[in-house]
Structure 1
Amino acid sequence: MRNATSNADYAEAPADVVTKSPAGSQTLLRGLDVIEAVVDGPIPLAQLAERLGLTRSTTHRLATALIDRQYLTFTPRTGYHFGPKLLELGFRAQQQTDVVQVARAHLEALAAATEDTVHLGVRDGDRALYLDKIPGRRRVEISSRVGDRHPLTSTGLGKALLLDEPPARWGALFDADHEAGAQRVDFARWEDRMRGYVEQGRSYDLEENEDLIRCVAAPIRGADGRIVAAISVSSAAQYMADERMAALSAEVRGTADAVSHDLGWSGRAGPPGK
């Protein structure tokens, strides 16, 4: 059921203005400005008008039209806030967003620029599930395939998926991966590297998952800022000296951020708990 505005608010504009449907591109853009101005929570009419730089009468007219279409609701003494239509559209948009489709052009560009193999993957329980792979131009054989599930703690892509995970959880995941057959490495050294990866916003695979193969990876974030996927650039160790991996880091992070923005991430909010 829609919330109604108070009588005082409706007194801001004549009755014929309240019921009139806004028209024209300028009104449309102003209506979108109203929606964006409400993003931080309930806001009263006077404050909303001030934020938009509009009169209270014009602001009220725009907000009322949005209430009629359920894009906004109004609660007395608190103000305007998002309505059920926005929740519905947000849910549908999320359902329709295919990370593979959204990321594909970005991955192709990254593969062309680096000449190395590029992967896209998501977390599937306690494993990294590979959803896409673009082979590089170098004569390097990477054994991964789309549909493969790899350890989180020994692949660069898997570590990127863990960058927001509480460090207290790292040990259990590390032990589970090694019990399942991952290469044995020193946990203290691995943990120290992971803390550095968190600070840098990217991760490395230093021949931990496959002999003579190294990679640089970075997380992809959804609209809410949470990690939803990750990408990696992989190649033979001979092409992945420490200096090149450091140089690739900005490019890989930049590509991951571009995909994140296409998924609705604003870049303003950090990961949960940060």
Structure 2
Amino acid sequence: MTNSADKEEAKKALPSQTLLRGLDVIEAVSNQALSISDIAKKTGITYSTAHRIVSVLLQRHYLKQDGTKGYSLGRKVLELGFQAFHQTTLTRVAHPFLEQLARDTLDTVHLARIETDSVIYLDKVSSQRSVEISSRIGGRKPLISTGVGKALILDWSETEWAALYQRSGAVFQEKMTQEQWLALMRGYALGGYSFDLGEDALSIRCVAAPVRDGSRKIVAAVSVSSMLEYMDSERMQALIPRVKSAAAKISAELGMQM
């Protein structure tokens, strides 16, 4: 039965407070507070509240039950930790190459990674021309319609490409059939690069290439983007080796053997 202290605490527990308490519980467990009694004592919350929060964190794999000893950090915390470390390392390693590519091309250069059916921009070096690409670090764009998005999925199977088209094909600025999409992706996969031919914004063109880690897994993509007036088809073709070279240099720094 819930006692009066729990009822009073529940009244005061705004969503932000609940989030903070959940974070307090994770931090307490990281400091070897293994039992719910220990967690309650270290965080200053009641036993029943600690039990409720621990139950949710167990369901989401932020905590795990460590046999009869109590609780320890779960796989989700480890996954996020590795992901954060990898992203920080990736951005730091890649930035000098992005800057060089931007100097060489005068255009906007991006570094992005995949998250479900979107790309997230990890870094951006702005154009030296009098144009601005409306992207920002931390911003999202559709995976299917961007140059970096296509570069990130070059290793996918045709079945996976088709499934993405079914989920996201409606975002194209101009209608494209599934077979047209698959034909594009086959060509990009063979060439090891990708284009944005106005699928995301009619006035923007982009050339992109994948970045791979030591296991040859695609972990990011690099792109050069500009307005159509600066990026005709001939220039896009000429940019392919430059963008692929920058991506290869970043990949080498991440341990990929050529």
| Residue from 251, 254, 264 that aligns with 2:245 | 254
Counterpart check, 1:193 vs 2:184: yes
> For residue 169 of structure 1, what is the amino acid of its counterpart?
E
Alignment RMSD = 1.8
Which residue in the other structure is 1:165 paired with?
156
Counterpart check, 1:203 vs 2:194: yes
| Residue from 109, 131, 138 that aligns with 2:122 | 131
CA contact (8 A) 2:122 2:137 kept: yes
Deviation at 1:172, TM superposition (A): 1.2
When normalised by structure 1's length, the TM-score is 0.61
Which residue in the other structure is 1:222 paired with?
213
| Residue from 91, 94, 108 that aligns with 1:103 | 94
Aligned length: 175
Question: Which ranges in structure 2 are unaligned for 5 or more consecutive residues?
Answer: 1-81
Counterpart check, 1:153 vs 2:144: yes
Q: Which 4+ stretches in 1 moved above 6 angstroms?
A: none
Stretch of structure 1 that moved more, 245-254 or 95-104: 95-104
> For residue 228 of structure 1, what is the amino acid of its counterpart?
V
CA contact (8 A) 1:115 1:136 kept: yes
Which whole-Å deviations, capped at 9, do the CAs of 1:85-140 have from their partners, x for residues lacking one? xxxxxxx9x94661100000000000000000000000112211111111111112
Deviation at 1:175, TM superposition (A): 2.1
Which residue in the other structure is 2:34 paired with?
none
| SS of alignment partner, residue 128 of structure 1 | strand
Which residue in the other structure is 2:111 paired with?
120
Instruction: Indicate the structure with greater helix content.
Output: 2
When normalised by structure 2's length, the TM-score is 0.65
Q: State how far apart, in whole Å, the 2-side matches of 1:255 and 1:192 are.
A: 26
Which whole-Å deviations, capped at 9, do the CAs of 1:8-35 have from their partners, x for residues lacking one? xxxxxxxxxxxxxxxxxxxxxxxxxxxx
| SS of alignment partner, residue 220 of structure 1 | strand
| SS of alignment partner, residue 119 of structure 1 | strand
Stretch of structure 1 that moved more, 165-174 or 114-123: 165-174
Report the identity percentage. 46
Which whole-Å deviations, capped at 9, do the CAs of 1:32-53 have from their partners, x for residues lacking one? xxxxxxxxxxxxxxxxxxxxxx
Stretch of structure 1 that moved more, 218-227 or 133-142: 133-142
> For residue 245 of structure 1, what is the amino acid of its counterpart?
M
Q: State how far apart, in whole Å, the 2-side matches of 1:257 and 1:141 are.
A: 26
> For residue 260 of structure 1, what is the amino acid of its counterpart?
S
> For residue 110 of structure 2, what is the amino acid of its counterpart?
H
Question: Which ranges in structure 1 are unaligned for 5 or more consecutive residues?
Answer: 1-91, 268-274
Deviation at 1:182, TM superposition (A): 4.1
| Alpha-carbon spacing, 1:249–1:170, altered in 2? closer, same or farther (3 Å) | same
| SS of alignment partner, residue 153 of structure 1 | coil
CA contact (8 A) 2:117 2:144 kept: no
| SS of alignment partner, residue 98 of structure 1 | helix
Which whole-Å deviations, capped at 9, do the CAs of 1:44-102 have from their partners, x for residues lacking one? xxxxxxxxxxxxxxxxxxxxxxxxxxxxxxxxxxxxxxxxxxxxxxxx9x946611000
Q: State how far apart, in whole Å, the 1-side matches of 2:125 and 2:166 are.
A: 31
Q: State how far apart, in whole Å, the 1-side matches of 2:166 and 2:135 are.
A: 23
| SS of alignment partner, residue 160 of structure 1 | helix
Q: State how far apart, in whole Å, the 2-side matches of 1:176 and 1:265 are.
A: 32
Q: State how far apart, in whole Å, the 1-side matches of 2:131 and 2:172 are.
A: 22
Q: State how far apart, in whole Å, the 2-side matches of 1:182 and 1:124 are.
A: 19
| 1:1-274 aligned within 5 A | 95=85, 98-179=89-170, 181-183=171-173, 184-267=175-258
